[in-house]
Structure 1
């Protein structure tokens, strides 16, 4: 599945030419750094669950990965997490400079919407594409990922109440996963209740995924993660582990995963991918 996403992503990479060539190189460097490609894969699998068969999903898959990648590029900046390693290679800002790292993130975010708009030429349902673009914008923006990140940054270095941490995780990590499943459902013509259910399922997956990330920052290794460990402690960040400990964090991952699997049973089509993914996520080491 990763190979499929990679081939789709490469179709939409900007050509590294012109006076702004360095910016385009930095964007592509970031996009091609590897990764699990979870979000576009979830989008495509949801599209298939609801019987989608067209190509309009592909620009959105690429756009989603561009938005996710831009968030990582900006996360790594000195003003944020100040990380120098991402996915086993030098972070974008260290490779191209801090100024170009900022611009690469900006470029990826903007180019994502240019890419998503190409779906209009690949569909008979322009209304679905328009709605999907709206979902992508909302879940990436101030009421989604960027909003969660803002609260996270503002409160770093001090205690964060449990309900606020939930809010941060639901937006910062969960929002793009929610958008992925919702867009797949919308483009395939799913009903309103089904779209809402997809949002709930993805929200639980995102919460479980982020809590597992908290755990890995403590129990994993730099070789396994492909990035420095202990950054939460180094940046004095409140996490599920610091609030509840490893045992309770693990229990919450499993509770959320079970709830997501139970909800999946209400959707049509083949859910084997999602069930397998959720079960692997519970015990992932990277």
Structure 2
């Protein structure tokens, strides 16, 4: 349904990547990435071939062919890891029903992203997918267990790194909003603030920033609604319901956005 063949991918790229600000894959954008992260250079001997693989990976990702997106991304080497990790995290979080397999996918993704940020410390979206993968893994082993293992701090620090490098990264604001909300939900407002620096006002601040940067995104809005429920409880259930309604009314541009529209519709039933 969301197939962006030929020039359709480039012409829709700005809408599809408003949240993560990922540059369109070209030999020039790849050369710029290699220039700021020189340790990637030995892993990218043929820029034109790698660009084609990354384009195919993003086409598969947006279409919801997440396994193909992982395969294309991995075939491109480390410079394809951002799209491969995104696809793996979405598949594991939204579609994989087997708990053991889901955790295995997320654990492998975390390990791959940890290696990537060591190799490419100036790549903004490498830090983003590392934070994303850590967050999804933490949710699946339980937030309390993740906090005990120190994973919460790694999620926060990775996403803060993204915001420091580019304050306009809406998806990183979403991730930080989710982080604050989930910590508050699991340990309570006072412990969350004193021990982990998680605060209710930060939930609102990050999601309002994300909504300003990426309006009409069902991903931003559905996560905002859920985080409102977690951080504020029944006192703000009407507000959460209202935001879910906004998410459900969005026009999805790809398979992930469709999944979040369907999630929002389910919450309204």
Q: Say yes or no: TM over 0.5.
A: no
User: Which structure features the higher share of helix residues?
Assistant: 2
Flag the structure with more relative contact order, 1 or 2, with Cα contacts below 8 A and sequence separation at least 6. Answer: 1
**TM-score between the two structures when normalised by the length of structure 2:** 0.32
